[in-house]
Amino acid sequence: MPPQRPDVAALADAIRMLVAAGQIDYSGHASLRRDGGSFYINAGSSVRASVTAADIVAIDFDGALVEGTERPPLEYPLHAEVYRSRADVQAVVHTHPRWSTLLSMVGVAVRPVFPQGALLGDLPVLDSPLSIDTPEMGRRLAATLGSAPAMLLKSHGAVIVGGSVLEAFALAIYLEENASRQYHALQIGTPYVLNGEEQAACRARLASPALFQKAWEHYSRRSDQSRDKRPGSG
């Protein structure tokens, strides 16, 4: 019997749901810290829209395979260097979200404009659109991220971290929803930004595993419905 891989199925679920939410495309990836200086990540060759636990490999921080036979994605240093620098991080998600990326392309800072956005705060931005496919670029990204829960890569995408796959997934959803509202509000005026007191109140109420789970269940159902509507699915 193959060894049990805790939470790997959830990692695959999160990737598929982020595809259905329009945040991961054919080249996004997500990972989960593993014991022994290694982590789980979807294989570079995996079809993100249909990824399963069988598509998850384990690699060490230098990219060497620990479990599986497929190669990791080229941007594995993004994950490795965040794990090296942040002992609190258990999961990392790299997405290519539309609205967040558009804001970064024109130099507009993502600001908390709705309650869940307060969990992200003011996001740091890596001022480079290049792939994070070398240890040097990974270290540069990790230094820019610092202690924040998420960051943007200019004209490229976003990186979100969490203490679990569930938390990283929920924060990715909140980040893009916040960016979408901010972008659309900018088309008609100046969006209201939550003040410091309001942000603190939102963080106290909304940084909850139960509410992260609520977001997970919502997008899980949306993902199921999207699959059911595919030709030949019924």
114 DSSP 8-state letter: S
CA 36 from chain centre, in angstroms, equals 23
Domains along the chain? 8-219 (3.40.225.10)
pLDDT of residue 36: 85
C-alpha span between 104 and 127 (Å, rounded): 9
Going 114 to 117 to 123 to 125, the CA torsion angle's sign is negative
pLDDT of residue 218: 95
pLDDT of residue 6: 58
Q: How far apart are the first and last CA of the chain?
A: 33
Residues forming beta bridges with residue 29, ordered by sequence position = 94
The CA–CA distances, whole Å, from 190 to 184, 186, 187 equal: 10, 6, 8
- Mutual orientation of helices 8-20 and 165-186 as an angle, nearest 10°? 10
pLDDT of residue 1: 34
Residues present in the chain in total: 234
pLDDT of residue 222: 81
pLDDT along the chain (234 residues), means of 10: 67 96 94 95 96 96 96 97 98 98 97 97 95 98 98 98 98 98 98 97 97 96 63 44
What is the reported pTM?
Answer: 0.92
- Mutual orientation of helices 165-186 and 98-105 as an angle, nearest 10°? 60
Residues forming beta bridges with residue 42, ordered by sequence position = 56
